[in-house]
Amino acid sequence: MVLLLALLALSGCLPGLSRLTGQGQPGATPRPPLTPRWAYEPWIWEDELHSDQAVRDLVEGYRQRDIPVGAVIVDSPWETNYNTFRFGPDYPDPGGLIGELHAQGVRVLLWSTPFVNVASIDGPDRGKAPLYDEAAGAGYFVDGGRVYKWGHGRGSAVDFFNPQALAWWYAQMDSAFALGVDGWKVDNGEKSLPDELETAAGRKTLGEYREAYYGAYYRYVAERNPDAIITARPYAFETTSVVGNDRAGFDPAAMAALRANNGERRAGRAPPVEAQRRGAGRLPLLRQAPSRAGSIPVRRRDRGPPQRPADHP
């Protein structure tokens, strides 16, 4: 499946965020969502070697070829386990890495999902995450802590309808965000959950859970840094074709994220450019695809032989 990312503007359009937008002031006119300027710069994506040196090499490789870089996504597994929000041993000085990238004008986003694992298929620690028992004992998971199989192992999903669970989750996120992180790639791990879930607020549909999940991440960054953002997948593909293939559909996670981004539920607009790198080091071909949410960047996989940045003049 081809991964596509829609950038979501984070200015204060949700209740309680009037300090970011001027909403709530007498006579104030609510502002539309505003995307921070840096989000429109080219993005790259480190999802191959998973180390601080790999991130540095990727940024430098593009710059040596006069390809500008405005942001880099550090994908999984960057943590010690899913999801501890603690950098693993291949990132010995994450604060130094982030500071170094910021000095070059490069923003940093980290991958995340709603699961805390009891067993993982990758990463430095593949056993039970050290914070799992604490969360399970406090009742912070949906479905009474039932363990589900998902893309990176087996784990339980955080109950975003539980205020105590949400506060606890935010406290875990703080350990990484405090290093200067500029946002989160909010991945769609919730697709591994059933159609209905038992939560602290009663029985909820998967769609309702999805709204709470993406909304929680939106509020997290909006309350801490109005210049930060979240990302989500706008399209789900069964093939490597471009948008328009009859087997491609608008990902419901993207709609949830767009609604989280816009408290009044108006259509959003994704920035026009995104650069990604995946697999054997292909440089992506970028296309524009019209959608109800505006112009969304689309990546096609190169059908030719794998090519690393060094192979491109």
The reported pLDDT for the residue numbered 253 is 57
Which band of pLDDT confidence, cut at 50, 70 and 90, is reported for residue 261? low
What's the rounded Cα separation, in Å, for the pair 126 and 129?
8
Question: Which residue matches tokens 């995307």?
Answer: 35
Structure tokens at 91: 């990132």
| Coil, helix or strand at residue 8 | strand
List the one residue out of 23, 17, 26, 62 whose CA is nearest residue 44: 62
Residues 6+ apart with CB under 8 A from 68: 41, 42, 62
Q: Is 103 exposed, middle or buried (0-12, 13-18, 19+ CB in 10 A)?
A: exposed
DSSP state of 219: H
The reported pLDDT for the residue numbered 234 is 67
What's the rounded Cα separation, in Å, for the pair 313 and 305?
16
Calculate mean pLDDT across residues 87-93.
Answer: 97
How much is the mean pLDDT over the chain? 75
Calculate mean pLDDT across residues 134-160.
Answer: 97
What's the rounded Cα separation, in Å, for the pair 26 and 131?
45
The reported pLDDT for the residue numbered 222 is 87
What is the C-alpha radius of gyration for the chain, rounded to an integer number of angstroms?
19
Structure tokens at 245: 């293939």
Judged against a pLDDT cut of 80, whether residue 73 lies above it is answered with yes
Calculate mean pLDDT across residues 46-56.
Answer: 95
- This prediction's pTM: 0.72
Calculate mean pLDDT across residues 66-75.
Answer: 96
Q: Give ∠ CA 186-244-111 in degrees, rounded to 5.
A: 10
Q: What is the DSSP string of 221-266?
A: HHHH-TT-EEEE--EE-SSSPPBTBTT-EE-HHHHHHHHHH-TT--
Does residue 32 or residue 191 have the better pLDDT? 191
What's the rounded Cα separation, in Å, for the pair 239 and 254?
19
List the one residue out of 45, 48, 150, 132 whose CA is nearest residue 83: 132
Helix (H) or strand (E) holding 58: helix 52-64
Delineate the domains of the chain, giving CATH numbers in brackets. Answer: 6-22+33-311 (3.20.20.80)
What's the rounded Cα separation, in Å, for the pair 162 and 167?
9
Torsion of CA 166, 171, 176, 178, to 10 degrees: 120
Structure tokens at 173: 């996120």
